Structure 1
Amino acid sequence: MADKQDKTKTAVALAYEPGDQAPKILASGKGAVAEKIIQQAKEADVPFYQDSALASTLSKLEIGDAIPPELYEVVAQILVFVDGMDKVRAKLGDKPIGSGR
């Protein structure tokens, strides 16, 4: 019998403030909680990035935990992507991603 993969939606919100050593887990949840996190991000114009493997790994951390050093590079790449999207939207005259926070 083949193993069923867990298809439950997982969402993790990260926060990074200048002076923080690393981004921190702001919110995390599965199923209906994940849907709520995603909906609130959309409503606040906060960008989100889909990576189920990364979300699964990050969801094992507690709220307020800093991401571990082994995830710095992948999370940094996501933050660079988001920053680039903000710059593109600014050039196009749109409100920057995440400015609704």
Structure 2
Amino acid sequence: MGTNVSKPRGLWPFSSGGPGGSECPSGEQALARARSVCFATPFIFTRRGSMYYDEDGDLAHEFYEETVVTRNGRKRAKLKRIHKNLIPQGIVILEHPRIHVDFPVIISED
């Protein structure tokens, strides 16, 4: 009792381009479709930044503001997280290239 599993169809971004060869497929349509396949690289040079700039130009993951809360006649300082007026960091250029997570190679230390 086996299962019928279809093989995924599509172009693997790190393949050699041909079914068994190392050259790119020929033809105008195939060339347009596989142009990115032939020149794909397993390295990542940029990433989306995870930090934000605030109104003062400071860069951090989170920003908090200290507020004074009065309860039962007592004054307490409480931190309130700021969500407004934050600008995303944008694209960050990596100092050293990283290997793409979908690159089909096992890397191990022996």
TM-score (norm. length: structure 1): 0.28
More strand by share: 2
More helix by share: 1
TM-score (norm. length: structure 2): 0.26
More RCO (CA 8 Å, sep 6+): 1
Structure showing greater radius of gyration is: 2
